[in-house]
Amino acid sequence: MKIYFTRHGETEWNSRNIICGRTDIELSVKGHLQAKALADRLSAEHNDIDMIVCSPMKRARDTAGYAAAALGIEPVYDDRLREWDYGSFEGKPRDTEGFLENKLEFGCRMAGGGESVFDLVNRVYGLIDELCEKYPDKNILLVCHGGVCRVIETYFRDMTREEFANFFMGNCELKWGEK
């Protein structure tokens, strides 16, 4: 079983380096082009994908739409792939004081009522475990968000706190792990 995962295409907030968690923002023109290029790559190089599971947020849904059309697979939406709730950091520049530190306090929720890393890991690992149990013979594409991709990476590869803090997944970058 292979679990492919990708981050949605670029949004205006991504291009401006703004923290975008639960704000349901659309893809930019560039994001649509990235999603189309990803779909072309999937169709040409990774047509072993049997199932697409996607965050219900617009930017991920639109990205998944291109992949679905290219692969002939109807996506399934799952709330557990929604982006990390960054609390009061939402909509602020990524270099906002305290953001990186707050992100690394695994057991503490983000300031202003957001999620902790443990909250995020619980829901994302739960989904992956469930998919592995229900579909052990399927290759699955997860279409989600940067914070969620960081957690998916830890499912397949141990990371130090420093590696976790510095992990970055580009828009429409594709990674995978095997179970």
Q: Which of 12, 74, 83, 153 is catalytic?
A: 83
Tokens 């990235």 belong to residue:
34
Q: Which of 8, 115, 145, 153 is catalytic?
A: 8
54 and 78 in contact (C-beta within 8 Å)?
A: yes
| 8 assigned to active site | yes
Which residue, 81, 179, 74, 175, is CA-closest to 137? 179
Q: What type of residue is 16?
A: R
| Angle at alpha carbon of residue 91, lines to 89 and 96, rounded to 5° | 50
Alpha helices in 55-116 (DSSP H): 58-71, 99-103
Give the largest CA-CA distance in the chain.
45
For residue 127, give both structure tokens: 């989904």
27 and 10 in contact (C-beta within 8 Å)?
A: yes
* Residues that are catalytic: 8, 83
